[in-house]
Structure 1
Amino acid sequence: MWGARPPIQTFPSTSSYISTSAVSMTQSLSATYMPPDWPGERPKSWRRGFKFKSGISSLLFRRKSVSRLLDASTDSARLKPASVLREENIIFDLRCSQPVIMIRTLGRPAVTNDLMLPSTNPPTLFMRLYHTRLPWYIDIRPMGNGSYVTLSDLLMGICQFLAGPIRNEDYYNDELDAEDREELKRAWVERCKNKKERMEGVKRVDFLREKYMFLGLTRGKRGMWELCTGKEFSER
């Protein structure tokens, strides 16, 4: 397992320098594989200022990692998150696209009715999330004909986004060094339980590495929300 590179799913490239046929979704990369020559520019889909390394280096760039101001109806500074989203009250593994969601105050897995409440007060039509370990924003909107973002919209939207495969340029670029790619590969190996999952390649959630448990939301900068995650939960 450790002698092979993870397969990367092929998508239309956001960079004109990268061949869209460089890596196949179903082709496992051998140890001798070398990525195609390209300038290694930062993927255009990444949020500005993102740094793979955590700690001080990521904090130095956090100020640049947020974008436009949102309007009054979507500004996190003007909204209160649902109480269930605070204080590690919701428990679930972000690596699962269809997770079992536990709510501590209920002492049982959540059911549909538990998650139909609005995720904010007052309700909002749009939420933009970021995480210091993720190079992308996560945009959440009501599903179907919903008039506001429910807890279900929020939690399922996060999981579905993170379940998406990364692109070639998300793995091979000058922002990531060999050690960074090794960390991503390790997260991929530890997440996958069978060959089918391994052949789906590295996913966005693997950028979280070992911090894949949902902890809740906090108000972020410039009207956005910061997604909080951790390594594991302790029983209370």
Structure 2
Amino acid sequence: MDEVKVVVAHHECATLRVGDVFLKVDAHQTRTDIEVEAMSRAPIPTPEVLWRKPPVLALAALPGMALGRLGEPSTASPAAWAAAGAAIRKLHDAPPPPWPGRAGRGIDELVAELDGECEWLVTNDVLPADLVTRNRHVAEAALRPWTPVFTHGDLQIAHVFVDGDEVTGIIDWTEAGQGDALYDLATVTLGHEEHLGDVAAGYGADIDLDVIHGWWSLRSLLAVRWLFEHGFDPTMPGGEVDVLRARM
């Protein structure tokens, strides 16, 4: 029997790896519905669905390795980062699904959530007030009208797999749907600002850097409490808190 490896686990869902099979266990089957449907619509490589028996979804492992990890230097080549940008552009150019995704939350909803998180971070002495205030200001750039496209919604670099300079697939589509293209581009480069130029070159379109910086700040401010409450460490070197400090 192959070793069972816990890839990630918290009170909402868990992912296990057994050999070349990933088993995703999710308490919210709507997320699994979205993941399966989004992968079927995406015009880029995604994991093969082997079987589904709620609450478990079995997916085949992708070849290659993750583009990188937040908080760690990426060993992927500039060409691999550019290939990721090209794959993201292909996704964004495809017909969007009929449902809104995580990257498609309305401005009023984002403002309310952002203000609440900023207040919590300061009131509970989690982060210095000047750090929160500065990043709240930077985040304003992301709070503008956008044209909805087919977004992944959680395009962290650990979800992009490459083999050499080629993208072999993208995993974890539970947040997919209509959303802001620059949210995806900001997420994949979060903590890896040095590769933004490579991603932009592969994406092949003008990118508003102020909006990218805004999403880095906004996403990080919203993530800190969730990460602490689910057993992760946003203060690790290169993590969300360092992303916030970089904007100072």
Query: Normalising by the residue count of structure 2, what TM-score does the alignment of the two structures yield?
Result: 0.28
The structure carrying a bigger strand percent of its residues is: 2
Higher RCO (C-alpha under 8 Å, 6+ residues apart): 1
Rg: which structure is higher? Answer: 1
